[in-house]
Amino acid sequence: MAIFLRGKTRCAICDRLIEDNDERFSTSTFLEKTHPLWRYADDTMHASCYMGWDRRAEFASEYCDSERRWFAGHPDCSLLMETANILVVYGSRSVAVMILLKLIAVLVDVGLDDLDDWLSMPADGQRFVQAELDRVRADLDLLGGKDHILDLLRSLG
């Protein structure tokens, strides 16, 4: 995971210092060194710069592909549902639902019992994530919500 050093870390997009109270975004390394966006993976940026970045869609799409491959190759993970906005995976080892917010490349773990609370009152305080949660709620509702997730889990046996 990208390292954030107070008063030292510069935004990968605008090159200004990232202050303590700035919302920030980072991912782990997920791109090959030959990829044109490689230097942005495993680096830190202002969330506002990231959200306005003209390469965000491409970056997030690559991240999503990388995560999907990882989940597919992991025996403890089961892909439950996917829409244009979200990818929902169940991790049997963690007894958690992992929701990938595809458009912003943010992966969140939610305990199965906490899903309703999480959807109505997100623990993560970053505003750019909260804004995306409206999409998650709409998609989860469309797909049958938590009950549907539980049905899918039962069908896994």
Q: How far is the CB of 57 from Zn ion (least distance, A)?
A: 18
> Please, which residue, 11 or 149, has the CB nearer to Zn ion?
11
Quote the least distance from Cβ 22 to Zn ion, whole Å: 8
Q: Which is nearer to Zn ion, 13 or 104 (CB)?
A: 13
Which of 13/140 has CB closer to Zn ion? 13
Of residues 42 and 82, the one with the C-beta less far from Zn ion: 42
Residue carrying structure tokens 């829409």: 83
Residue, CB closest to Zn ion: 11
Residue 101 CB, shortest distance to Zn ion, in Å, is 20
The total number of residues written for the chain in this structure: 157
Residues contributing to the site for Zn ion (CB under 5 A): 11, 13-14, 46, 49
Residues forming beta bridges with residue 89, ordered by sequence position: 79, 98
For Zn ion, the closer CB: 47 or 88: 47
Nearest-approach distance from CB 50 to Zn ion, in angstroms = 8
Residue whose token pair is 């490689």? 38
Residues 6+ apart with CB under 8 A from 153: 80, 90, 112
- Give the nearest distance from C-beta 21 to Zn ion in angstroms: 14
